[in-house]
Chains A and B, each alone.
Chain A
Amino acid sequence: TIFTPEQLDAYQDCTFFTRKEILRLFYRYRDLAPQLVPLDYTDKPDVTLPYELIGSMPELKDNPFRQRIAEVFSEDGDGNMTLDDFLDMFSVLSEMAPRDLKAYYAFKIYDFNNDDYICKSDLEKTVNKLTRNELTPEEVSLVCDKVIYEADVDNDGKLSLEDFQHMIVRAPDFLSTFHIRI
């Protein structure tokens, strides 16, 4: 047995998953580093996958957001993932998760400097990551201004969570794509 029934219940309560899915995710988690993760979680071992392990995955090599995702979903903010973090991440991306929760985490991913606003520097980072630094700084700055201009409801020059949610709600297709089926 990997988990005690109490643990499974607790996980079920905290996430949007069934027991079976939780076990499946656990195996996925363990596949990342079989040597680090024990097969017995009943005594709550303190296991953390360091970010280096995730960031060095060959599939992720080209992904511009790998570090950011790990940072946002890890508890310590440095990208080191525990099993709980791992489950949290997929819970947010599951179909059952409410739209606001998804919007919140999407917002957090964009908010690079963690000041609870998407400001221009955050957006510039995003755009640079997306375009792989192919645009000139001027162009990036123009694009970011436009993005803020489009979504900034309260005109404070940066996007708050409310602005972001408002924008997301206006385009209903968006969050419907923010799903992963495990």
Chain B
Amino acid sequence: MQPPAGSPGPGAAAGAELLRWQWREVQAPCLVAAWILVASLAKIVFHLSRKVTSIVPESCLLILLGLGLGGIVLAVAKKAEYQLEPNMFFLFLLPPIVLDSGYFMPSRLFFNNIGAILTYAVVGTLWNSFATGAALWGLHRAGLMADPGVEAGLMDFLLFGSLISAVDPVAVLAVFEEVHVNETLFIIVFGESLLNDAVTVVLYKVFNSFVELGPAHIRATDYVKGVASFFLVSLGGTAVGLLFAFLLALITRFTKRVRIIEPLFVFLLAYVAYLAAEMVSLSSILAVTFCGICCKKYVEANISQKSRTTVKYTMKTLASSSETIIFMFLGISAVDTSKWAWDTALVLGTLFFILLFRAVGVVLQTYVLNRFRLIPLDRIDQVVMSYGGLRGAVAFALVILLDRDKVKAKDYFVATTIVVVFFTVIVQPCTLSPSQSFPCLLLPFQGLTIKPLVKWLKVKRSDHHKPTLNEELHEHAFDHILAAVEDIVGHHGYHYWRDKWEQFDKKYLSQLLMRKSAYRLRDEIWDVYYKLNIRDAISFVDQGGHVLSAAKLALPSMPSRTSMSESSVTNLLRESGSGACLDLQVIDTVRSRRDKEDAAMHHVLRGSLYKPRRRYKASYSRHFISPDKQERQDKEIFRQNMKRRLETFKSTKHNICSSKSKARLKEKGRKKKNISLTSDAHNGKTHRNVPWQEAAPVLVMISSEEEESDSSETEREDDEGIVFVARATDEVLQGKTTAGSLDVCPSPCIIPPSPTLAEKELPWKGDQADLAVYISSETTKIVPVDMKKAWNQSISSLESIASPPGIESGPQHRRFACPVLEEQSQSASQAMPEQSSCFQFPSHISKSGRSQSDSSPDGTEQQELQPLMATEDQGRMLPSTEPKWLMFNRASHL
């Protein structure tokens, strides 16, 4: 993509100018953008007609387009302007494709077939290049190459053989993905194309240096060096990849608070791995491939759902556009006849030999491999494999890189390479692809007259059946069983090593590289279950669960509501002011039948009402993506539907998230206790009379940090993608609103902490521990575990004798933990003495304390959540003060 030298520049302007023509400045990026645009538009055009793309692979069309464009450019500019530059190819175009293929490589399949892949990649490539090179040299010696321009010795031909014989990952991927052969076949051909890079690079370099040295000066040690460098290059490249995979996984473990740049790390580190390997002339393709394969498990576990999607799509986009550009430029480059020098014998000989030797190599290796393979590769597989040895842009870039002074026959080699690439990419896929006939222009080639190979040979295609839980389960069980049997017999086979690796991974690597929260989440069986459930849910909603929910919205006290649409329910909620109205029931403390009815109603309401549409502050944040309103509402509708459906199905679907988050938060709480807050708590208790400022600064620091981590923890939940729950929806809802409200939503959480099924009668009878755990991030922060215990005890005693002192600790601590209060230390310190003196009447104290914090102008949203929690907790404990509380509460909200 060399920008043309004499492009239209700015016209000479005299004096001051209003606008200036600045083509020169933007020329290079502009051309790049233009080319990408052209290629992408071309793709759209190709796919307009389904018929064309089903017959002709896209890569062929792109090459043909490139030929056309190149022809146009040649005709206009009288010289070939653009072509595939090796540097650009290796530094920018190749890495995305390789990263994409490595990252999305089905790793189990890959490692299951690693033996075969390595054999084909190493032995096969060595065989191909030596045999092709030697055979061409023989042809030359026999005097069959008529053109005297072909001055080449054995080394030149070996060099050419090395670059022409490597199967190209770009071409293989482009073609085989469209053909859909079965998985094993695909992984073998594709894995080979990736892993043979090391061999190609080494052979190319060794022969290149031999050619430069001249055959006379090569000593025996050089050969040894060549062999040694093979191991160095391949193992070194792999090591670089593994190192960066480790780094990447480790980094993503700590990106909890910078979710937005998570995808960046993935791309950046993989690219750095590529460059690092390239820098020390190790195999960069191997580096990126292994980086992708190895980091995936940990990265996927660590990053959020949205980041996962982003990584996926960005990777696919980059790879796809790289591929597009590569093929198009291959076409364009081919037009440049100044680099061509045609020798029929060389071209035909090369074509013949690469096909022949590939076939021979595949047959021989498969013969050996099948003795060791459980599922042998049959004849048809072998045919496809030998025919699927596609050459592509790598060969082209390498041949362009040759030095014309050293390699006299370079022009001939370039021409031959182009022909070979075109032949393999255009002709072979056309026969491979499942079309009935190929009517267009390439009829002369033998391949086209055959019916498409794959279809004709009835190659086992890949069947995309749905993954089932059974498969997952049995796969794991079989792994263990087979490993056990291998252990018993003392036979250290494949299962033995895999088992050992998995244990190692579980014990050390995953512990090190995954977040605590993600670690448990990654249990595959549960994962599959989760995915299946979500799929079921989505399909259900697609079938129109929407209507059902509205129709089923029957409220006992409002008979007319049954037919009410969602929007009117929302209106109803709006009319009644803030959402706190739902909580009015909490006021009553006398247990009566009416209360029970109310409680039931309360449950029904909370279960079936849609949350009111909120007004969000128009906010823009570069660092957080806030789910927009529509999305929220959709999610909510979705959740409601799911709930209803699952209730009707009665298939014991259960709350997925809450249990998880519960566990996670509990763990959090425990950890906290261990770190700091235990001591803080004691401080809080023992130094009650000490002026607050003394203890405050330290506490504030710690808790603010913890709060941050906590809130991002809840945000993580928020990022979990579609969360559906069958029961106790609101916990999750609440978690969401809490997270969202931290930076977006000014209004407080409306719905009170919901009861679990465990509490049968009244909402306010919930066990406090649970509430404290998952009410909101703040509460968790506030109440360390030991405090919670004390609290619980006091509450249980409260129920009988209603003795207040235990409550004291709650609010006080909360105040300690609240970072915002630092600014109000003045006022708070005034409140403090009072507090410690009238210890017995915590409600008043906390009220006064609260009134200060609430009415303070800079009280933030976090705080607004907090009082709500507090009121509810306290309201339950001290019913007599409740009405005031609630009023107060509402006032602060409104």
A28/B489 contact (C-beta < 8 A), A63-B499, A142-B652 known: yes
B769 within 8 A of A: no
* Also in contact, A109 and B481, with CB within 8 A (given A142-B654, A174-B474, A176-B375): yes
The segment from A3-11, A12-20, A39-47, A131-139 found at the interface with B is: A131-139
Which residue from A147, A170, A182 sits with its C-beta under 8 Å from B473?
A: A147
Please report the C-alpha to C-alpha distance between residue A136 and residue B664 in the assembled complex, in whole angstroms: 13
CA distance A150 to B523 in the complex (A): 20
Contact with A along B28-41 (1 / 0, CB 8 A): 00000000000000
Question: A176 — which chain B residues lie within 8 A by C-beta?
Answer: 374-375
Contact, CB under 8 Å: A57 / B487: yes
Could you tell me if A147 and B469 are in contact, using CB atoms closer than 8 angstroms? yes
Known: A32-B490, A176-B375, A180-B482. A143 touches B477 (CB 8 A): no
How many residues of B are in contact with the other chain, CB < 8 A?
44
Q: B500: nearest residue on chain A (CB-CB)?
A: A59
On whether A146 and B469 interact (CB within 8 A), knowing A174-B475, A176-B375, the answer reads yes
* A25 with B489: CB separation less than 8 A: yes
Q: Does B653 contact A (CB under 8 A)?
A: yes
- In the complex, the answer to whether B481 meets A126 with C-beta atoms within 8 Å is no
Judge whether A167 and B485 touch: CB under 8 Å.
no
- Is B469 within 8 A of A150, CB to CB? yes
Pair A146/B532 contact, Cβ less than 8 Å: yes
Contact between A131 and B525, CB atoms less than 8 A apart: yes
Mask: chain B, 484-501; 1 = CB below 8 Å from A; 0 = not: 111111110101100100
Among A57, A136, A142, A151, max chain B CB count under 10 A is at: A142
| Cβ A136 vs Cβ B478 within 8 A | no
Are A57 and B475 neighbours in the complex by a CB distance under 8 Å?
no
**A63, B480: Cβ atoms closer than 8 Å:** yes
**Contact at B653–A142, with CB atoms within 8 Å?**
yes
Residues of A within 8 A of B654 (CB): 138-139, 142
Q: Does B765 contact A (CB under 8 A)?
A: no
A135 cross-chain contacts in B, Cβ below 8 A: 523, 525-526
Known: A106-B474, A138-B654. A66 touches B525 (CB 8 A): no
- Residue A156, interface by CB 8 Å: no
Q: Does B571 contact A (CB under 8 A)?
A: no
Number of interface residues of A (CB under 8 A): 54
Residue interface bits B639-675, CB-to-A below 8 A is 1, else 0:
0000000000001111000010001000000000000
Given contacts A143-B525, A146-B529, contact A130 B476 (CB under 8 A): yes
* Contact residues, A45-70 vs B (CB, 8 A): 54, 57, 59-60, 62-66, 69-70
Which one of B482, B532, B663 has the greatest number of beta carbons of chain A within 10 Å? B482
How long is the Cα–Cα vector from A135 to B477 in the complex, in angstroms? 16
Given A65-B484, A146-B529, A28 and B523 contact (CB-CB distance below 8 Å): no
B480 touches A180 (CB 8 A): no
A135 to B525, CA, bound (A): 10
* Contact across chains for A126 and B487 when beta carbons are under 8 A apart: no
Shortest distance from the beta carbon of A94 to any chain B beta carbon, whole Å:
11
Query: Are A60 and B374 in contact (CB-based, < 8 A)?
Result: no
A65 to B473, CA, bound (A): 13
Q: Is the CB of B477 within 8 A of A126?
A: yes
Q: Which of B471, B652, B663 contacts A171 (CB 8 A)?
A: B471
Interface residues of B (CB under 8 A from A): 372, 374-375, 465, 468-471, 473-478, 480-491, 493, 495-496, 499, 503, 520, 523, 525-526, 529, 532-533, 651-654, 659, 663
